[in-house]
Structures are given as structure tokens and as C-alpha cells.
Amino acid sequence: MTATLDRPAPTHLSPRLTVSTAGRILRQLRHDHRTIAMLLVLPSLLLGLLYLLWKDLPTMPGQPSTFDRVGLTMLGIFPFVVMFLVTSIAMLRERTSGTLERLLTTPLARLDLLLGYGLAFGLAAALQAVVTVSVATTVYDLDVTGSVGLVVLIAVVDAVLGVALGLLASAFARSEFQAVQFMPVIVLPQFFLCGLLVPREQMAGWLQAISDVLPLTYAVEALQEVGSSTEATGTMWVDVGIVAGVALLALALAAATLRRRTS
């Protein structure tokens, strides 16, 4: 038995190092003004396009307008997609610049690094959600029956899910080209099957079964609950719990696939 073939050490979490890492990631973001502007403004602009698309179409009496239904759902999908992409590229940069290898020789635990990413981009997503929800409800007259605070909360949990899946996916990407293509692979099926394009109860049984195991489905259902009930419903909290649980699971898996020793 050789001592050099040791197993990865048990991860020692340190909230101080997690926060310090999140601070570093946010500082990197702060130097990149265009990215900040795009993060904050782009979802509102895209939502505006959807608003104009459906503005003059008639609405069935007694039904929510198409924009109210789709726009609300998009508030959860934007942060998920954007944070997935941003994180998988950021992690790939850590890998190619050698900073990841260096971090792995320091006392920073692997899960600290990944939680740092979750925290940093979760905060960025919160800011993004506040801007987008404010613009949607004031400029585009988006009607939300429930609390807009809950919409922001769900958007942030979705963003953290995007971060976690992005970190996990980047472990399997050897190049930027691969990393970018993980986006359609992981994001699009969830988007198609989440119940926005076709209501889930109208899907074929086996598609519904796939939809049942995709986390974005629960994020969309949570938003629909907020859209239709004045009070937070039990279903909504269960949905939020499922999305958060999957995000934590993905972060743990990403930490497990992050090898300290490489060939």
C-alpha cells in the first residue's frame, strides 16, 4: 500500500472560506461592467419582447392573459439558463487558467469553492430578479396574484439550480466548445417538458414521467402557484424545497467529481 495513493480527504467546510470565495467571484464580476449590465437588463428586455408579442392578442374571458402565464414562468427560466451558462464558463476558466489546480493545493475545501459560486451567483440572481420583476409588474403590467417577493425567491432558487448544474456539467467538459453545448443538452429538455409549452396533464404518460424527474418542472409549478393564489400554498413550498434539494445534490455531486489529483 503506498501512502501517495491516498483518498481525497473528507471535506472540511468552512463558512469563512465559502464567503471569502463568493466575495472574490463577485469582485471579478464587478470589474466586468458589461456583464453586470447584461445580467441586470437583458431579461427585462427579452420579457418586453414577449409583452409586445402578445399585447394586442385577445384574452379568453376568465383566463389569465398569455403574457401573464408565460412572462411569470420566464422569470424563473431566465436566471436558470443565464446562471447555468455563466457558471460553466467561469468554472472552465478556473480549470484552464490553472487557478483551480492552485486552489486545490490550498486549505480551501472543494465544496467551499462550489458553495462560493452558488452564493455569489445566487446574490447576482437576486439583484437580477428584483430588477426584472419590478420592470415586469410596472412597465409590462404583469399580473401576479401572489407575492412578488416569492417570485424573487423562486427566481433565486432557480439560479442556484442553474449554478449547481453548470458546475456539475463543467466537470465533464474538456473544452469551451463542449461546455457551451451542455447548455442545450441540460436546459432545453427541461424547458420543453416543464409544462409551459404543453400543459403537463396533456402530455403522453412517459413524457410526463420524464417531466416528473426534471427539477425545472417544480420551479415552473411553484411560479404558477404564486401566479394563481394570493397566499403561499403548500404545493409551492414543496416545489421550492425540491428545486433547492436538487441544487444541493448537484453541488455535492460536482464536489465529488472534482478530482484533486489529475493525470
Partner 1 sequence: MDAVTVTDLVVDRGRRRVLPGLSFTVPAGQVTGLLGPSGSGKTTLMRALVGVQQVRSGRVTVLGRPAGSPDLRRRVGYVTQAPSVYADLTVRENARYFASLYGMGAREADAAIADVGLAGAAGQLVADLSGGQRGRASLACALVGSPEVLVLDEPTVGLDPVLRVELWERFHGLAAAGTTLIVSSHVMDEAGRCDRLLLLRDGELIADSTPAQLRADGHSEDLEEAFLTVVRAREEVAA
List of residues contacting partner 1 (CB under 8 A): 2-6, 9, 12, 16-17, 20-21, 23-24, 27-28, 31-32, 97-99, 101-108, 260-263
Residue 10 CB, shortest distance to partner 1, in Å, is: 8
Residue closer to partner 1 by CB (options 6, 141) is: 6
C-alpha cell at 239: 416545489
Residue closer to partner 1 by CB (options 21, 44) is: 21
Residue 263 CB, shortest distance to partner 1, in Å, is: 5
Q: Are 188 and 197 in contact (CB under 8 A)?
A: no
Residue closer to partner 1 by CB (options 19, 198) is: 19
| Backbone angle region of 13, left / alpha / beta, with phi > 0 → left and psi within -120 to 50 → alpha | beta
Which helix or strand (DSSP H or E) is residue 28 part of?
helix 15-30
Residue closer to partner 1 by CB (options 10, 234) is: 10
Residue 83 CB, shortest distance to partner 1, in Å, is: 18
Instruction: Give residues with Cβ within 8 angstroms of 130, minimum separation 6.
Output: 152
Residue whose C-alpha is closest to residue 240's, from 155, 162, 164: 155
C-alpha cell at 121: 451567483
| Backbone angle region of 131, left / alpha / beta, with phi > 0 → left and psi within -120 to 50 → alpha | alpha
Residue 170 CB, shortest distance to partner 1, in Å, is: 17
How long is the chain? 263
Residue 259 CB, shortest distance to partner 1, in Å, is: 8
Residue closer to partner 1 by CB (options 3, 49) is: 3
Residue closer to partner 1 by CB (options 3, 57) is: 3
Q: Are 164 and 118 in contact (CB under 8 A)?
A: yes
Residue 43 CB, shortest distance to partner 1, in Å, is: 23
C-alpha cell at 72: 411569470
